[in-house]
Amino acid sequence: MKTSCGTVTREREQGNRRQLPDWADQFNDLMIDFWCGEMLWNISMADFSSYRVGGPAEAVIFPLGINELALLIQGLRKLDINWLVLGRGTNILVADEGLKGVVIILGRDFCSIDQTHQDAGFELVRVKGGCAMARLVNWCTDQELSGLEFAAGIPGSVGGATAMNAGAWGGQISDVLHSAIIMDSKGILHSKAGEDMNLGYRNWNEPAEMIAVETTFKLKKGEKSAIAEKCRANVSLRKKQQPMNVISCGSFFKNPAPDKPAGRLIEEAGLKGFKIGNVMVSDKHANFIINTGGATAADIVGLMRHVQNRVWRHCGIRLEPEVHLLGFTDL
Ligand SMILES: Cc1cc2nc3c(=O)[nH]c(=O)nc-3n(C[C@H](O)[C@H](O)[C@H](O)COP(=O)(O)OP(=O)(O)OC[C@H]3O[C@@H](n4cnc5c(N)ncnc54)[C@H](O)[C@@H]3O)c2cc1C
- pLDDT > 70: what percent of the chain? 95
- 18-33: average pLDDT: 85
Is-contact 173 250, C-beta < 8 A?
no
Q: Which of 58, 251, 267, 282 is catalytic?
A: 251
248 noted as active-site residue: no
Cα of 167 vs its chain's centroid, Å: 13
Q: Give the pLDDT confidence score for residue 106 in this predicted structure.
A: 96
The Cα 72–Cα 87 span in angstroms is 17
Strands 83-86 and 99-105: parallel
The Cα 130–Cα 62 span in angstroms is 10
**Alpha helices in 150-217, H assignment, sequence order:** 158-164
Strands 56-62 and 99-105: parallel
* pLDDT one-digit tens code per residue, 195-238: 999 999 999 988 778 999 999 999 999 999 999 999 999 999 99
Q: Give the pLDDT confidence score for residue 18 in this predicted structure.
A: 58
- 179-202: average pLDDT: 96
Is 234's C-beta closer than 6 angstroms to any atom of ligand 1? no
> Is residue 15's pLDDT more than 60?
no
The number of the ligand 1 atom at minimal distance from the alpha carbon of 85 is 47
- What mean pLDDT is reported for the chain? 92
> Is residue 6's pLDDT more than 70?
no
The Cα 161–Cα 154 span in angstroms is 9
**What are the chain's domains?**
24-109 (3.30.43.10), 111-241 (3.30.465.10), 262-326 (3.90.78.10)
Neighbours of 240 (CB within 10 A): 9
Is 164's C-beta closer than 6 angstroms to any atom of ligand 1? yes
pTM of the model: 0.94
Q: Which of 167, 119, 117, 120 is nearest to 147 (CA)?
A: 167
Name residues whose C-beta falls within 8 Å of residue 215's C-beta, 6 or more positions apart in sequence: 126, 127, 129, 158, 159, 162, 173, 177, 179, 180, 181
* pLDDT one-digit tens code per residue, 223-276: 999 999 999 999 999 999 999 999 999 999 999 999 999 999 999 999 999 999
Ligand 1 centroid to residue 215 C-alpha, Å: 15
The Cα 174–Cα 264 span in angstroms is 25
> What 8-state DSSP symbol labels residue 50?
T
146 noted as active-site residue: no
- 1-7: average pLDDT: 36
Q: Which of 88, 126, 202, 310 is catalytic?
A: 202
Edge-to-edge strands of the sheet including 289-291? 275-276, 279-281, 289-291
Q: Give the pLDDT confidence score for residue 34 in this predicted structure.
A: 73
Ligand 1 centroid to residue 87 C-alpha, Å: 7
Amino acid letter, 283: D
Is 324's C-beta closer than 6 angstroms to any atom of ligand 1? yes
> Is residue 317's pLDDT more than 90?
yes
Would you say how long the chain is, in residues?
A: 331
49 noted as active-site residue: no
| Residue 32 vs residue 110, higher pLDDT | 110
**Alpha helices in the chain, H assignment, sequence order:** 24-31, 66-78, 133-142, 158-164, 224-241, 262-268, 297-315
The Cα 165–Cα 122 span in angstroms is 20
Is-contact 1 9, C-beta < 8 A?
yes
- 102-112: average pLDDT: 96
